[in-house]
Structure 1
Amino acid sequence: MKRVLIVDDAAFMRMTIKNMLSNYEYEIVGEAENGLEAVEKYKELSPDIVTMDITMPELDGIQALRMIKKLNPGASVVMVSALGQEAKMKEAIIYGAKGFIVKPFKEEILLGALSKL
């Protein structure tokens, strides 16, 4: 069972992702609502997969991705963003994101992205 850390500043989106994954072979080991919290939770929990929002307060998803990749170059991080953030998505791939999902998304899109990891 893959262990997942869900990172998004919107509680609704964290709940949505959690609900989508709950019927499959994923264990939600933690949630974070900003990039700083995401890095701390990553250190604490060592998840197999991180779903990372891009636009968040305190530390955005790109900065958090970079910090997590410094901690673990093999970290599996999938970026989640709104439409219109293509430049940020390209930046995330350059810094080591393993994939990306554009909001709003359906369950099969999320599962497809995570199954590739």
Structure 2
Amino acid sequence: MATVMVVDDASFMRIMLRQLIEGAGHTVVCEAVDGLDAIDKYKKYRPDLVTMDITMPEMEGVDALRAIRQFDPRARVIMCSAVGHQHRIVEAIQLGASDFLVKPFMKERVVEALHKVSQAIEAGKK
């Protein structure tokens, strides 16, 4: 199973995602509260995948995605956004995001995205 970093400025969203991720059998290795924190922790923990909120203080998720993918072009990032940020989601996908989740989260959709990215990770290791 994958190691995961959860990035969101709202603690209740990090807790919710952690529960869904760990319930699906993955391990949350760290959490970050904004894009700058995410970049630092990605470099330190090197998780298999990242869930990244789009709208955060200090540095938004799309900018953090760009920096993480420059550091590690193989980084797997699932973007998270509320409805109404479609242009940012499109930009994130163009920058290499692996998938996206819409808030409020539906458990089945989170598990599906984790499974899809985990399969891609495993295929890349072969």
Structure 1 Cα separation of the partners of residues 23 and 87 of structure 2: 33
Describe the SS at the equivalent of 1:58. Answer: coil
Residue in 1 aligned with 2:38?
A: 38
Describe the SS at the equivalent of 1:9. Answer: coil
Which amino acid is the alignment partner of residue 59 of structure 2? L
Residue in 2 aligned with 1:81?
A: 81
Number of equivalent positions: 117
What is the Cα deviation at residue 21 of structure 1? 1.6
Give CA-to-partner distance per residue, 1:16-62, whole Å, 9 cap, x none: 00011222220000000000000000000000010000000000000
Q: CA RMSD in A?
A: 0.7
Structure 1 Cα separation of the partners of residues 90 and 24 of structure 2: 29
Which amino acid is the alignment partner of residue 50 of structure 1? V
Identity level (%)? 47
Unpaired runs of at least 5, structure 1: none
Structure 1 segment 54-93 matched on structure 2, within 5 A: 54-93=54-93
Structure 2 Cα separation of the partners of residues 24 and 90 of structure 1: 27
Describe the SS at the equivalent of 1:19. Answer: helix
Moved more, 18-27 or 41-50: 18-27
Residue in 2 aligned with 1:10?
A: 10
Moved over 6 A (4+): none
Normalised by the length of structure 1, the TM-score is: 0.98
Unpaired runs of at least 5, structure 2: 118-126
Which amino acid is the alignment partner of residue 16 of structure 1? M
Structure 1 Cα separation of the partners of residues 36 and 87 of structure 2: 22
Normalised by the length of structure 2, the TM-score is: 0.91
Question: Is residue 8 of structure 2 the alignment partner of residue 21 of structure 1?
Answer: no
> Greater share of strand residues, 1 or 2?
1
What is the Cα deviation at residue 105 of structure 1? 1.6
> Greater share of helix residues, 1 or 2?
2
